[in-house]
C-alpha cells in the first residue's frame, strides 16, 4: 500500500537538543511538505520541496532545517533555535504543482522539556 510514514509517533527531547523527524513516502510524489499544528491554530507550513535537492521556506521556517537528498524522504530537524518546539508535526506529499491534492502522514507529536 502506498502512503506516508512518519516515525516515531511520539518524541521527547530535552531543551537545547536538536531532533530530527522522519518522513518517508512511497507514492512517487515529487513534492513534500512539513506542517506544524498547535491547538487552535490550524496547520502552518514550515518547509516544502518540489523536487529532490531543492526546498523552500514556508511561513514559519525559523528554527527548522530540512534536506531532500532522496525523492522518498524529507526529514525535518528541529534545532535548539526553535523557541517553542513542542507541537504536532505533519508531513505531506503531492504530485508536483498539485499542492491542492496533498496526502498526509500520521504525524509526530514532539514534546520538549
Partner 1 sequence: AQKVTQAQTEISVVEKEDVTLDCVYETRDTTYYLFWYKQPPSGELVFLIRRNSFDEQNEISGRYSWNFQKSTSSFNFTITASQVVDSAVYFCALSHSGGYQKVTFGTGTKLQVIP
Burial class (CB in 10 A: 0-12, 13-18, 19+), 82: buried
Return the number of the residue (52 or 88) whose C-beta is nearest partner 1. Answer: 88
Minimal distance in Å, beta carbon 92 to partner 1?
A: 8
Binding site for partner 1 (CB under 8 A): 31, 40-45, 48, 50, 56, 58-59, 88, 90, 92, 97, 99-107, 109
Contact 93, 33 (CB under 8 A): yes
Cell numbers 503531492: residue: 94
Minimal distance in Å, beta carbon 71 to partner 1?
A: 17
Minimal distance in Å, beta carbon 75 to partner 1?
A: 19
Return the number of the residue (18 or 101) whose C-beta is nearest partner 1. Answer: 101
- CA 56 remoteness from chain centre: 12
C-alpha to C-alpha distances, 78 to 8, 30, 53, 92, nearest whole angstrom: 14, 23, 19, 17
Minimal distance in Å, beta carbon 56 to partner 1?
A: 8
Return the number of the residue (80 or 103) whose C-beta is nearest partner 1. Answer: 103
Amino acid at each position: 500500500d502506498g502512503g506516508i510514514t512518519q516515525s516515531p509517533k511520539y518524541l521527547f527531547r530535552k531543551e537545547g537538543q536538536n531532533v530530527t523527524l522522519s518522513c518517508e513516502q512511497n507514492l512517487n510524489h515529487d513534492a513534500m511538505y512539513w506542517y506544524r499544528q498547535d491547538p487552535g491554530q490550524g496547520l502552518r507550513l514550515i518547509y516544502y520541496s518540489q523536487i529532490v535537492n531543492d526546498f523552500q521556506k514556508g511561513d514559519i521556517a525559523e528554527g527548522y532545517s530540512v534536506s531532500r537528498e532522496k525523492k522518498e524522504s524529507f526529514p525535518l530537524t528541529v534545532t535548539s533555535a526553535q523557541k517553542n518546539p513542542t507541537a504536532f508535526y505533519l508531513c505531506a506529499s503531492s504530485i508536483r504543482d498539485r499542492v491542492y491534492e496533498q496526502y498526509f502522514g500520521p504525524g509526530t507529536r514532539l514534546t520538549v522539556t
